[in-house]
């Protein structure tokens, strides 16, 4: 059998490596530290996915190469261990999440080991470990003290399926990201992180990092900065009934601020719309219209976010019976409410300009409100306002003194006019909202706050951390945190007055845990601080971060917020946490569909390792295609890489101490190509290059020992077990990974003869073998001497000749 026994050699080397386990700081004193990181997994009960294998293998290859090049490499692994699946499993079966999670983590570690990943296990962490979440809670307190964490009552997203509130980022298409239940809005008092304070810097920072453009765009859109003017519609008149605070209001002057990015269309306003939830609605609605307004508002409130957005095109509303004054003309404009205006963006009110906004156009037509043109399309552009709104820039018309200006000029001058009239100001708005971090669930880090009857909410003293998650709870979700009914948890005194107090029962969003884990790895066992400043300085920020694109606006944005905040508070000396980011593409099932249990197209890495070996699996996943592309799994493809590995294995029997220039040359070319491809993370073409080399060595009479050893060194980063096995079989006593990365001799990269393509008028008519340093005339003479070339040139005039040295000659004839 010309085949190596992976069942024997893989476990053998895994055991040997475990003894001299991989450490970030060790044999290589050279320094130049590199921090390579993959997104840590949630320890799911179903174990490692082939998608994990892809990203971890990719970074493992880079880590091994960089170590061999003399770098100190930090390549850690841990577990994002808090989360809903384990808790939901507990609800169903009664098995405690801690138990489920411990079991899953043990299984993951077994699988990691069976794949030969060179993680530094001395730094392992789990976010569910009190020694870890002590510092998550510490960060919460730090943010609280610095006004970056606060409690507020606000309309929040509520999921009835998960029985908890959700962050904005966890609502997808109006549905819960996790269970797809339609999300409803509730007014609740919750804990928030003030991420909006960093909106501008998070936006600017994106420009400084080496991330996929796609992810950068998504973050820019999510932050959603837009510049405009907040302008006031004052002098709201009419008969007022309503209450503001406890006071009954009869006649008063109110002002409605609206936000617009199109202040150039100010003279086209024909009405103002408030969101149904707008606080002024109660105070402004007249008696005659009250019934209709209240009915409309109740109906809007009952709709889920999903229903409200699905009825996108249908714009309905109610006139509240009152008028406001236009800020510049003083003209009276009617005030409406409609749920096409969002209460939590801008001021919760907009000015209606039907001629130049699609939504206002629909609304105005429905209720026969005036459509007044104030922007004329540029010359040569036809537009019919009877059919649709004109929403592009143009020239101002019907705008009093501003007529004739371009939209850009108009924006500027009207903004200035509004400002000098004291009726408004230029403002910047963001789509980004503060991050809602409290959850009414069990399996997370408790929020380190207490409630005292006399002192109100008080932070736990940092010295009293961690606030340990109690075990005596009932998991069944009730809409309140399961911690509420714990007997042991609430036995606490107020940190301020010493009187009786209760603990905060909500836990933190698990994205809080994962927002800073990369900082903990640099000093993961420290009991005094989350990490020593020297350790942070040595390793951070992360040089290379690899993970899935699904975290674009969640984990990756939150983690950036954390590092900016910690930077400002003096704990880290950098702002951007991840200098270079790459996303691995999805590995699809053999049917080309996303792998899922329900579809039954899930590939289990354990089975592939059993049948083909870990090295073959690693190599195959790297060979499938570009790291960032989605690629379908094809089991028959693995046999190709396994054949390649067997071929390399069998070659060791033909190794000799003699020289063989052709073989050496093939290896040196491969060293160059593979070195460049690993640095560029083009693993598929690196493997292709190694296959080409193996095919060359395969037909070579003999294989010089030094060339073969170099080849084994580079292959070992991809196939560590086989690499180590061959290395020892060749008589070497130490590990192949203690070797230096091979270098190539540039003089060996050039062949004595190269094939030069001969074209006539750009069409290939033959190839000739020439010395690559030949001059143009020699090449042309040889080309012309070729029968087939002569045939096409003959009888024509040679207009010009293009010669690309060593590659191609093109004879242009007429």
* Residue 80, φ and ψ in degrees, nearest 5: -85, 75
Residue labelled with tokens 């973050």: 219
Nearest to 446 by CA among 505, 500, 530: 505
Distance of CA 456 to the CA centre of its chain: 38
Shortest spacing between CB 221 and RNA, in angstroms: 5
Handedness of CA 569, 572, 576, 581 (dihedral sign): negative
Nearest to 577 by CA among 68, 205, 171, 70: 205
Decide: is 302 part of the binding site for RNA (CB under 7 A). no
Decide: is 549 part of the binding site for RNA (CB under 7 A). yes
Nearer CB in complex with RNA: 460/587: 587
Binding mask 677-696 for RNA (x = CB under 7 A): -----x-xx-xx--xx--x-
Report the b/e string of 514-540 with b at 16+ CB within 10 A.
bbbbbbbbbbbeeeeebbeeebbebbb
From residue 225, alpha-carbon distances to 26, 102, 199, 348, 427 in Å are: 47, 43, 8, 17, 10
Segment interacting with RNA, rule: CB under 7 A, options 109-117, 340-348, 409-417, 480-488? 340-348
Decide: is 800 part of the binding site for RNA (CB under 7 A). yes
Segment interacting with RNA, rule: CB under 7 A, options 33-41, 416-424, 446-454, 757-765? 757-765
Decide: is 601 part of the binding site for RNA (CB under 7 A). no
Decide: is 783 part of the binding site for RNA (CB under 7 A). no
Segment interacting with RNA, rule: CB under 7 A, options 35-43, 152-160, 511-519, 624-632? 624-632
Nearer CB in complex with RNA: 71/315: 315
Helix (H) or strand (E) holding 108: helix 97-114
Decide: is 121 part of the binding site for RNA (CB under 7 A). no
Segment interacting with RNA, rule: CB under 7 A, options 81-89, 201-209, 304-312, 489-497? 304-312
Nearer CB in complex with RNA: 48/557: 557
Question: For the purposes of burial, counting CB atoms within 10 Å of the CB of 692, is it exposed (0-12), middle (13-18) or buried (19 or more)?
Answer: middle
Strand partners, 228: 427
Decide: is 327 part of the binding site for RNA (CB under 7 A). no
Residue 552 CB partners (closer than 8 Å, separation 6+): 214, 215, 218, 219, 222
Shortest spacing between CB 89 and RNA, in angstroms: 26
Strands 395-396 and 375-376 turn out to be antiparallel
Rounded Cα distance, 576 and 514, in Å: 15
Decide: is 626 part of the binding site for RNA (CB under 7 A). yes
- By CB under 7 A, the residues from 270 to 299 that bind RNA are 275
Shortest spacing between CB 578 and RNA, in angstroms: 19
Nearer CB in complex with RNA: 266/505: 266
Binding mask 499-518 for RNA (x = CB under 7 A): --------------------
Rounded Cα distance, 360 and 357, in Å: 5
Rounded Cα distance, 225 and 135, in Å: 32
Segment interacting with RNA, rule: CB under 7 A, options 306-314, 599-607, 659-667, 733-741? 306-314
Residues 218/223/224/225 CA torsion (nearest 10 deg): -140
Decide: is 775 part of the binding site for RNA (CB under 7 A). no
Q: Which of 95, 639, 661, 750 binds RNA (CB under 7 A)?
A: 639
Rounded Cα distance, 190 and 150, in Å: 8
Nearest to 228 by CA among 193, 189, 264: 264
Shortest spacing between CB 257 and RNA, in angstroms: 11
Shortest spacing between CB 628 and RNA, in angstroms: 9
**Token pair for residue 454?**
């006399």
Shortest spacing between CB 309 and RNA, in angstroms: 5
Length of the chain measured in residues: 814
Segment interacting with RNA, rule: CB under 7 A, options 159-167, 409-417, 668-676, 759-767? 759-767
The CB-side HSE value for 615 (13 A sphere, CA atoms) comes to: 31
Decide: is 3 part of the binding site for RNA (CB under 7 A). yes
| Residues 41/108, Cβ–Cβ less than 8 Å | yes
Q: Which of 41, 78, 83, 348 binds RNA (CB under 7 A)?
A: 348
Nearer CB in complex with RNA: 406/485: 406
Q: Which of 636, 653, 657, 752 binds RNA (CB under 7 A)?
A: 636
- By CB under 7 A, the residues from 173 to 212 that bind RNA are 173
Nearer CB in complex with RNA: 61/105: 61
Nearer CB in complex with RNA: 505/641: 641
**Number of residues counted as binding RNA (CB under 7 A):** 89
Nearer CB in complex with RNA: 339/504: 339
- By CB under 7 A, the residues from 412 to 451 that bind RNA are 429, 431
Rounded Cα distance, 300 and 318, in Å: 12
Q: Is the peptide bond before 466 cis (omega within 30 degrees of 0)?
A: yes
Decide: is 618 part of the binding site for RNA (CB under 7 A). no
- By CB under 7 A, the residues from 356 to 385 that bind RNA are 357, 359
Distance of CA 459 to the CA centre of its chain: 32
Rounded Cα distance, 162 and 87, in Å: 10
- By CB under 7 A, the residues from 138 to 177 that bind RNA are 172-173
From residue 760, alpha-carbon distances to 189, 755, 772, 804 in Å are: 78, 16, 20, 14
Rounded Cα distance, 620 and 638, in Å: 6
Shortest spacing between CB 751 and RNA, in angstroms: 10
- By CB under 7 A, the residues from 225 to 244 that bind RNA are 226, 228
**Token pair for residue 217?**
């765009």
Segment interacting with RNA, rule: CB under 7 A, options 490-498, 644-652, 662-670, 734-742? 644-652
Segment interacting with RNA, rule: CB under 7 A, options 38-46, 329-337, 632-640, 734-742? 632-640
Decide: is 261 part of the binding site for RNA (CB under 7 A). yes
Strand partners, 748: none
Decide: is 663 part of the binding site for RNA (CB under 7 A). no
Nearer CB in complex with RNA: 412/458: 412
Decide: is 625 part of the binding site for RNA (CB under 7 A). yes
């Amino acid at each position: 059998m010309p085949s190596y026994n992976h069942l024997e050699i893989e476990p053998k080397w895994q055991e040997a490596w475990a003894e001299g386990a991989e450490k970030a700081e060790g044999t290589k004193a050279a320094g130049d530290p590199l921090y390579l990181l993959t997104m840590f997994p949630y320890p799911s009960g179903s174990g490692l996915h082939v998608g994990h294998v892809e990203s971890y293998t990719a970074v493992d290859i880079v880590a091994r190469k960089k170590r061999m090049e003399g770098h100190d490499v930090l390549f850690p692994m841990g577990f994002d261990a808090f989360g809903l699946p384990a808790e939901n499993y507990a609800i169903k079966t009664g098995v405690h999440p801690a138990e489920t999670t411990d079991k899953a983590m043990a299984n993951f570690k077994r699988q990691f080991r069976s794949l030969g990943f060179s993680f530094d296990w001395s730094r392992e962490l789990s976010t569910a470990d009190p020694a870890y979440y002590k510092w998550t809670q510490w960060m919460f307190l730090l943010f609280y003290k610095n006004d970056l964490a606060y409690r507020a009552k606000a309309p929040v997203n509520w999921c009835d399926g998960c029985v908890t509130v959700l962050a904005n980022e966890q609502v997808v298409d109006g549905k819960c990201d996790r269970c797809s239940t339609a999300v409803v809005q509730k007014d609740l008092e919750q804990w928030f992180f003030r991420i909006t304070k960093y909106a501008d810097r998070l936006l600017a920072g994106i420009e400084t990092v080496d991330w996929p453009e796609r992810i950068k765009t998504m973050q820019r859109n999510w932050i959603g900065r837009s510049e405009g003017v907040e302008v006031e519609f004052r002098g709201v008149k009419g008969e007022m009934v309503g209450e503001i605070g406890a006071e009954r209001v009869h006649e008063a002057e109110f002002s409605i601020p609206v936000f617009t990015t199109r202040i150039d269309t100010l003279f086209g306003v024909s009405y103002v719309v408030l969101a149904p939830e707008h606080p002024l609605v109660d105070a402004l609605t007249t008696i005659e219209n009250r019934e209709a307004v209240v009915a409309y508002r109740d109906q809007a409130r009952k709709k889920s976010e999903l229903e409200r957005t699905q009825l996108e095109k249908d714009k309905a509303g109610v006139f509240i019976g009152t008028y406001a004054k236009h800020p510049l003309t003083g003209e009276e404009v009617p005030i409406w409410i409609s749920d096409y205006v969002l209460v939590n963006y801008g001021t919760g009110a907009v000015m209606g300009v039907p001629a130049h906004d699609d939504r206002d156009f629909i609304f105005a037509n429905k209720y026969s409100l005036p459509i007044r043109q104030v922007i004329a399309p540029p010359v040569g552009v036809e537009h019919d306002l009877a059919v649709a709104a004109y929403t592009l820039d143009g020239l101002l018309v019907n705008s009093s003194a501003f007529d004739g200006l371009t939209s850009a000029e108009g924006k500027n001058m009207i903004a200035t006019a509004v400002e000098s009239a004291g009726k408004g100001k230029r403002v910047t708005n963001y789509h980004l909202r503060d991050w809602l971090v409290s959850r009414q669930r069990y399996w997370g880090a408790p929020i380190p706050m207490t409630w005292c009857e006399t002192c109100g909410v008080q932070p736990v003293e940092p010295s009293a951390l961690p606030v340990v998650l109690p075990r005596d709870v009932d998991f069944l979700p009730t809409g309140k945190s399961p911690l509420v009914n714990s007997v042991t948890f609430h036995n606490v005194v107020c940190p301020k007055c010493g009187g009786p107090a209760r603990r905060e029962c909500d836990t933190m969003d698990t994205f809080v845990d994962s927002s800073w884990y990369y900082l903990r790895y640099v000093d993961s066992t420290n009991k005094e601080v989350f990490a020593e400043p020297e350790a942070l300085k040595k390793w951070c920020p992360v040089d290379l971060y690899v993970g899935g694109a699904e975290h674009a606006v969640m984990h990756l944005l939150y983690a950036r917020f954390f590092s900016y905040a910690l930077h400002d508070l003096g704990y880290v000396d950098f702002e951007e946490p991840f200098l270079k980011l790459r996303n691995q593409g999805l590995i699809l099932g053999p049917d080309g569909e996303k792998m899922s249990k329900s579809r039954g197209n899930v590939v289990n890495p354990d089975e592939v390792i059993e049948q083909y070996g870990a090295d073959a699996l690693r190599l195959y996943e790297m060979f499938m295609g570009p790291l960032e592309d989605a690629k379908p799994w094809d089991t028959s493809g693995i046999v190709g890489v396994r054949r390649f590995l067997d071929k390399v294995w069998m070659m060791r029997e033909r190794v000799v101490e003699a020289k063989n220039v052709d073989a050496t040359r093939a290896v040196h070319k491969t060293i160059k190509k593979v070195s460049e491809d690993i640095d560029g993370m083009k693993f598929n073409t690196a493997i292709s290059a190694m296959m080409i080399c193996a095919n060359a060595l395969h037909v070579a009479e003999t294989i010089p020992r030094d060339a073969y050893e170099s080849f084994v060194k580079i292959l070992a980063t991809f196939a560590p077990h086989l690499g180590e096995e061959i290395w020892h079989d060749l008589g070497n006593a130490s590990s192949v990974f203690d070797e230096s990365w091979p270098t190539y001799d540039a003089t060996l990269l050039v062949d004595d003869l190269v094939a030069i393509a001969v074209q006539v008028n750009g069409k290939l008519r033959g190839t000739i073998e020439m010395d690559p340093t030949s001059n143009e005339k020699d090449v042309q003479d040889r080309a012309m001497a070729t029968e087939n070339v002569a045939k096409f040139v003959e009888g024509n005039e040679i207009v010009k000749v293009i010669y690309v040295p060593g590659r191609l000659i093109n004879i242009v004839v007429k």
